[in-house]
Structure 1
Amino acid sequence: MKRTPFSQLAWACAIAAVIGVFVLLRITNVMMQFGRAPKLEWVIGLAIWLIMLICCIIWQRKASRGELDVTLYTGFWQNAVRYFIALDLIMFGIEKLCHLQFNIPLGELDNPFSSIPRQDLMWAFYGHFRLLVDIVAVMQIAGSVLLLFRRTRLLGAITLLPLLLNILLLDYFYLDIIIQIYITCETLAVVYLILLKYDRLSEFFFHTQSPLPGFYFRNSWVKNTVRFSTVIIPIVLLANFKFPKNYKEITGKYLVKNWSLNNAVKSNNACADSVLTKVFIDRGDFVLEYNSYLRRYIGGYKYNPQTREITAIWRYPFNNHDTLFAKMLPGNAPDKRVLIGRMGKENFRIDLLKVSPVN
């Protein structure tokens, strides 16, 4: 009979402790709602980890004397890992089905896009279609249930891994560090459960002969060329693509502080549609906004860094055929610019204040 190393018990116990603490704290937060006690939560978590550490030391001494069944204890804590993961993800899934997640106040959705926090942007995107959220919830619950049964636990772990990897990437880019640590530990715990069956998976994926047909070429060089063509062809196609350039010296969002048309100073306080208020320049677009996002000139542009000349050709509105010719000159401060030129038969001068991105 193969003897189970004590290190496997230590790993199973440690992972169960970490995931168990996170799940316990989450249950506490849900029950207490807004009455959270962060310091108490951390004390409870550290106490549990300390108890587990002491237990591992005691069990190691007993195992070295042959007084402890390492295999039995290891199996128990591996099952505990599965239980905690399933409990946590089923809670998340039920919350999604009950529409307790991905809800954004309608008032916030009317705010400017750039003012909405990163987490709310993500929640608004996924919450726009409730069916998408429900499908993710069902997959979370189904994978978690599969994780609880002996015959389907590997299938459950493989089902949950891509879901958790997707959540992991979203949380890394949109949420705070605590959530990132949380989802990282849970994802690694699922990877741990999958690796428990590493021998079976390795045999299935890398050693078992596949009945599917392969590439049949007499020359191996031709075979490999066909394979690599799936990478070479897209690269060749992209080599002929005209990528928009990023001119950092002009890229950004600008507020119009003062402007004049045909040497006549225009007022920025008027509510008329003809009042220019904002200018946007990014990789591919040059945009003039007149008092509202509903009134914009949008077009592509070319820029010459040496002469600072900008040429913009409008594609919206469709009836505007007046090409813009201008120069972007530095202002009297690092965040100020002056746009001087003509559009159609009209000459203009625009004093701009750069607000995003900040230099």
Structure 2
Amino acid sequence: MASLITGLTTGAVFRRLGSKYLVHYLPLDVIFILAYLFLLSGIAFAFVWHYSEKRKKVNLDYKHGLVQLIAFALALDLTMFGFQKLLGFQMIVPLGLLDTPFSSFSGEDLVWAFFKHSYAFTSVVAFMQMASAILLLFPKTRLFGSLIALPMLVFIWLMDFFYQMPTGVLLHGSILLTAIFYFLWLYRKRLLSICWINVSSVNFHYTWLWILLLMGISAFCLINRRHPDLHPQLTGKYAVADLKIEGLSQKAKYSTDSVLTFVYFDLDDDVVLRWNDHRRQRIGRYRLSNQGRITMKWRYPDNKLPAFEGQLIGVKDGFQLKGRMDTSNYEMLLIRDEK
């Protein structure tokens, strides 16, 4: 196990750092080959170690050296991650992308845009990565460093997985996390002595009482909280079709034509009318009666804009919306956009 994790960790760290900082000196293919050689060397060393013990008939303790090598590779990678955050080498998002609609972002772009927003926050993460790296280097502080690195790496791995990061990124995070779990396994006796609970000292009657009280109060709060999706059958994004204003058909010939294109019915009865571009829109709140009577009052770009008063009727392909706004009569078909 020590040999395998040593090969995995050193190979992964060399591949990541080499592909960023050694490409001016070595071809990328050579860097990848060397990274795989680290992995194969780690696997091969286990057999060499086993053979040497059988031949010499003594226990050879190479584990300390391998663990120190794992710790150094981890520390180097975490330190470089920290410097990359502090110096702006990481979380690079093009300015043009930041000005595009939020819904067009990929999971990877969402992560980088979110963390890039606050340099102070990313600096805190960077210093924690570098602090855990230093603690991992020394046997007496390695457990403490592992406990600091563990929640960070678990959080990063979960983001990599659920936000569809590239496969190589997810694999790299998995290797680093495996190394940390290996360190925790090495210190399992110390961890168990700290976390062990004496079952005989626990009063289970009071324990169940606290659990029931917790669940009861939580259920009471949730039952009395109105869900924000007040009209689930309506909530969604709709493309506008067959638009008519004062009986005249309206259709955009070019992307710059200011024609009503999308309608959004959102949570908390929010409504958005959009004219081709996210910069040309009205945002407000709607009221819908049981008879399909709908009223939209605006708060953006101005709360003094005339309200939309009309009728919303369910049809086969979506909804038909008729009403009056800005002294004009509107008629349109709303088709649900499944994107």
Give me the TM-score of the superposition, normalised by structure 2.
0.83
Contact 1:310–1:328 (CA<8 Å) still a contact in 2? no
Distance 1:272 1:179, change over 3 A: closer
Match of 2:297 among 305, 311, 314: 314
Match of 1:256 among 231, 240, 261: 240
| Structural RMSD (CA) | 3.4
Aligned equivalents of 1:142, 1:88: Cα separation in 2:
12
Contact 2:19–2:31 (CA<8 Å) still a contact in 1? no
1:18 aligns with 2:8: yes
Aligned partner of residue 115 in structure 2, secondary structure:
helix
1:277 aligns with 2:261: yes
Match of 1:185 among 175, 191, 205: 175
The aligned counterpart of 1:108 is: 97
Match of 1:204 among 194, 203, 223: 194
Note the 1:56-95 alignment, pairs <5 A: 56-70=46-60, 72-95=61-84
Aligned equivalents of 1:293, 1:248: Cα separation in 2:
24
The aligned counterpart of 1:265 is: 249
Contact 1:298–1:315 (CA<8 Å) still a contact in 2? yes
Aligned partner of residue 253 in structure 1, secondary structure:
strand
Contact 2:3–2:45 (CA<8 Å) still a contact in 1? no
Contact 1:286–1:301 (CA<8 Å) still a contact in 2? no
Of 136-145 and 50-59, the range deviating more from structure 2: 50-59
The aligned counterpart of 1:48 is: 38
Give me the TM-score of the superposition, normalised by structure 1.
0.79
The aligned counterpart of 1:342 is: 323
Note the 1:29-48 alignment, pairs <5 A: 29-33=19-23, 40-48=30-38
Q: How many residues align?
A: 330
Match of 1:173 among 158, 162, 175: 162
Aligned partner of residue 316 in structure 1, secondary structure:
strand
The Cα shift of 1:37 comes to: 5.7
Of 341-350 and 114-123, the range deviating more from structure 2: 341-350
The aligned counterpart of 2:274 is: 289
Match of 2:311 among 311, 317, 325: 325
The aligned counterpart of 2:213 is: 229
Note the 1:235-246 alignment, pairs <5 A: 235-245=219-229
Distance 1:223 1:165, change over 3 A: closer
Aligned equivalents of 2:111, 2:83: Cα separation in 1:
19
Task: Give structure 2 stretches of 5+ with no counterpart.
Answer: none
Distance 1:247 1:51, change over 3 A: farther
Aligned-residue sequence identity (percent) comes to 25
Distance 1:51 1:150, change over 3 A: closer
Amino acid corresponding to residue 151 of structure 2 in structure 1: P
Amino acid corresponding to residue 237 of structure 1 in structure 2: C
